[in-house]
Structure 1
Amino acid sequence: MKTNVVIVGGGYAGVMAANRLAATGRSGLDVVLVNPGERFVERIRLHEYAAGTRNDPTVSFASVLNPDVRQVRDAAERIDAGTRTVQLAGGRRLEYDYLVYAVGSGRGKVPEGSYAVEQFEGADEARRALAGLPPGGRVAVVGGGLTAIETASETARRYPGLSVGLHAAGLPAPQVGAGARRGLERSLRRMGVELHAGTRVPASGDPRTHLGADVVLWCAGFGVPELAAASGLPVDAAGRLLVDPTLQVPGQERIYGAGDAAVIAGADYAYLRMSCAAAMPMGADAATNILRSLDALPAVRHDSGFGGQCVSLGRTDGMVQFVTADDTPVRLHVHGRTAAVLKEIICRMTLRWIRNEAKRSGAYTWPKGPRRTTATAQQQAPAWN
């Protein structure tokens, strides 16, 4: 009997889920990956591409996907859980027995006149804009998170003749420890990045005028597609698909969520941040629970954690903040060339983990999450509307 599994989204979570399913070689299992792009984008390298230090942040899907995964180059417009179909922008309708919602994140509200580097299109536009600036041009990077810091530092290293400023609403890298942040700020100042804490950019008007910049690179947070909400599926205030600890949508036993566009409800999972480090384990577990459902086995509860937060500060500098499983920073942190090498190793390993999973289902493993106390385990489950 044929089983159709449709995976919506070709990012880290979607590709990992597709590989874990297809690499089983299970008879009758048809795995379909729906994604509008023709190549897999290494989003963790988009700041390098925007700054001009990397020529291509993409690889072919053929190089990362199990050959039994069937690709459909299109965008999903609506998921109809009642009929178990996905309406595509090109007019086609796909039927599914199981669906993995892994559409990822993208640009949120970006003021006109600025470039969002967290998507390939925005990074490509930013790359051209930076390359066209004359010496002495001013670049403003908006945001205080790790993406903003990497973008500002990569740009300053690549274009020492430009004036680069990092404009954050609060402290830069608020998620790291105080010692790590001091070292990070020293590195930024050494390369000439001006730090501006407490910057608020008005919602209206051209941010270039407000910030006195020729180019504004927007790194002030991710948004998610509206597909889940438009399909009548449960979402949180940010529009992310709500799932239970088995990554299943409550009331929809054939729909699973993984990656940035999905969130596990409940205090137990509040530590999971939007990142490929969280997306890939979620994608793997979503696939595992589909396989377990096919075998009439109980679903497993998702369990993943973190080991560190890695930041590149150009090609020869970096910062690694070690953390507990729930992403709490510890005293240990590493800076300089050693940290840059560690960051590069992890970036390269990310593709290797995906490719290993394409060859053997279950090859990818990850750090476990924090231990759940008895009190936490007995907390009341969230109410679903």
Structure 2
Amino acid sequence: MTRQIVVVGAGYTGLAAAKLATRWTDARVTLINAADRFVERVRLHQLAAGQRLRDLPLTELLKGTGVELVVDRVTGIDAEARTLRLANSAREVGYDHLIYAVGSVADLTSVPGAAEHAFSLADNDDALRLKRRLADSEVVAVVGGGLTGIEAAAELAEANPALKVRLVDRGELGAGLSERGKKHLRRTFARLGVELRENAGVSEVRPDGLVLADGAHVAADTVVWTVGFRVPDLAERAGFAVDGNGRMIVDEEFRSISHPEVTAIGDAAAGRMRTGQELRMACATGMPSSQHAVRALADRLSGRQPRPLRFRYLNQCISLGRKDALVQFVHRDDTPREAILTGRKAALYKEAIVRGTIIFERHPAVPTSL
């Protein structure tokens, strides 16, 4: 009997995994996704700033692969019966092997008022809502000084010179970067006119802006929330082993430690290096790990011993508008080197990386490196 592999989620990891599974195994492969389009999540700050993104229908990206696409939302997993429940269909989808690639969503639950008054950049609809809101905005406060917040603040400021942009961060701007990297961020934000509020925790989001932990008010008619992401609770509700954030706990082959017939990749998987360091949520993690995970699954199905996980990082690429960027080179464990690349060359480098993600989705068997 032909095995059935079902992939849930068609983001950067899920789409690639489905295509690799049809190439490297003899199983029937079904890909389930809530939308019929691939979302370039790493470009959503550009969409919010008013730029047009390319249209990427999943049917076009899957053409000729043999992958069955089901456009629907998975509402539940029966781990014992190995079936999936769908939102818009009475039928259940059975699997022999499940690849869990559901990604992550913005966490708007940690601070009062965020869900009601803040905008996020977690998906295409969120970015379009923010774009419409910005058309009537004069002051925007971006909460969060991680990579998403930095890119959003710079993009919005460059694309809308009349817009006042404020970045509010609970810590130091660019805390994970080298000293040279931090200095470049500050110079860039000064050039773009982005106002910084560091070491400022947010206690409430209101229609007129932010209330900080010390009681101060940061005025803004639009708030962009980039602090933290959370994963869907499908795995936890199904009884799979998850960590404190709901991410599925996996071994070196990215198999669930409680249900080895399930492979988890991308943001919803709590993968680790051999040193024990947890892999961060990023395309730079998801794309090569999806290759490793599907190769390991294919090896198991063919009776071969999978190769050990070898994983390293090379850099972090941060866009700072369309004409500038910061490429922070890192050690294999993702800690920063002093070496950086900035300016126009860095912007071209970053653009090449982003375009490369789509090349990867079209040809996911091409070797990747970090």
Q: TM-score, with normalisation over the residues of structure 1? A: 0.89
Q: Which moved more, 1:216-225 or 1:295-304?
A: 295-304
Q: Does 1:37 align with 2:35?
A: yes
> Percent of pairs identical after alignment?
37
Q: Does 1:306 align with 2:303?
A: no
Counterpart for residue 176 of structure 1: 177
Counterpart for residue 214 of structure 2: none
Q: Does 1:48 align with 2:49?
A: no
Q: Which moved more, 1:73-82 or 1:186-195?
A: 73-82
Write the mapping of 1:177-196 to structure 2, written as runs, cut at 5 A.
177-196=178-197
Judge conservation of contact 1:102–1:257 (CA < 8 Å) in 2.
yes
1-side partners of 2:351 and 2:273: how far apart?
Answer: 34
1-side partners of 2:54 and 2:130: how far apart?
Answer: 14
Judge conservation of contact 1:242–1:265 (CA < 8 Å) in 2.
no
- 1:139-183 CA distances to partner (integer Å, 9 max, x unpaired)? 100001011010000000111001101100001121111111111
Flag the 1:203–1:240 CA change in 2: closer, same or farther, 3 A.
Answer: farther
Q: How far 1:251 moved relative to its partner?
A: 3.3
1-side partners of 2:321 and 2:347: how far apart?
Answer: 8
Q: How far 1:87 moved relative to its partner?
A: 1.4
Counterpart for residue 324 of structure 2: 317
Q: Which moved more, 1:58-67 or 1:2-11?
A: 58-67
Counterpart for residue 215 of structure 2: none
Judge conservation of contact 2:48–2:130 (CA < 8 Å) in 1.
yes
2-side partners of 1:35 and 1:189: how far apart?
Answer: 41
Structure 1: which amino acid aligns with 2:248? Answer: L
Q: How far 1:292 moved relative to its partner?
A: 1.0
Does the residue aligned with 1:252 lie in a helix, a strand or coil? coil
How many equivalent residue pairs?
357
> Residue 240 of structure 2: which of 233, 236, 244 is its match?
233
Write the mapping of 1:205-244 to structure 2, written as runs, cut at 5 A.
205-206=206-207, 208=209, 210=211, 211-244=218-251
Does the residue aligned with 2:267 lie in a helix, a strand or coil? coil
Judge conservation of contact 2:319–2:347 (CA < 8 Å) in 1.
yes
Q: Does 1:326 align with 2:320?
A: no
Flag the 1:273–1:340 CA change in 2: closer, same or farther, 3 A.
Answer: same
1-side partners of 2:105 and 2:171: how far apart?
Answer: 22
Flag the 1:58–1:170 CA change in 2: closer, same or farther, 3 A.
Answer: farther
Counterpart for residue 95 of structure 2: 96
2-side partners of 1:123 and 1:153: how far apart?
Answer: 15
> Residue 131 of structure 2: which of 107, 110, 127 is its match?
127
Judge conservation of contact 2:32–2:72 (CA < 8 Å) in 1.
yes
Q: Does 1:258 align with 2:261?
A: no
Counterpart for residue 298 of structure 2: 291
Query: Which sections of structure 1, spanning at least 5 residues, go unmatched?
Result: 368-385
- 1:16-60 CA distances to partner (integer Å, 9 max, x unpaired)? 111111134x54x211111101100000000100111x2136511
Flag the 1:214–1:69 CA change in 2: closer, same or farther, 3 A.
Answer: same
Q: Which moved more, 1:276-285 or 1:296-305?
A: 296-305
Judge conservation of contact 1:49–1:57 (CA < 8 Å) in 2.
no
Counterpart for residue 63 of structure 1: 60
Does the residue aligned with 2:102 lie in a helix, a strand or coil? coil
Q: How far 1:209 moved relative to its partner?
A: 5.0
Does the residue aligned with 2:297 lie in a helix, a strand or coil? helix
Q: TM-score, with normalisation over the residues of structure 2? A: 0.92
How large is the RMSD of aligned CA atoms in angstroms? 1.7
Structure 2: which amino acid aligns with 1:243? Answer: V
Query: Which sections of structure 2, spanning at least 5 residues, go unmatched?
Result: 212-217
1-side partners of 2:142 and 2:190: how far apart?
Answer: 14
Judge conservation of contact 2:179–2:338 (CA < 8 Å) in 1.
no
Judge conservation of contact 1:113–1:207 (CA < 8 Å) in 2.
no
2-side partners of 1:65 and 1:282: how far apart?
Answer: 20
Structure 1: which amino acid aligns with 2:269? Answer: A
Judge conservation of contact 2:255–2:263 (CA < 8 Å) in 1.
yes
Q: How far 1:121 moved relative to its partner?
A: 1.8
Q: How far 1:324 moved relative to its partner?
A: 1.4
Stretches of 4+ moved more than 4 A in 1? 203-207
Q: Which moved more, 1:39-48 or 1:288-297?
A: 288-297
Does the residue aligned with 1:64 lie in a helix, a strand or coil? helix
Structure 2: which amino acid aligns with 1:181? Answer: K
Judge conservation of contact 2:45–2:152 (CA < 8 Å) in 1.
yes
Counterpart for residue 366 of structure 1: 369
Judge conservation of contact 2:272–2:279 (CA < 8 Å) in 1.
no
1-side partners of 2:367 and 2:273: how far apart?
Answer: 26
Does the residue aligned with 1:309 lie in a helix, a strand or coil? strand
Counterpart for residue 107 of structure 2: 108
1-side partners of 2:22 and 2:208: how far apart?
Answer: 46
- 1:317-346 CA distances to partner (integer Å, 9 max, x unpaired)? 111100112111111001111111110010
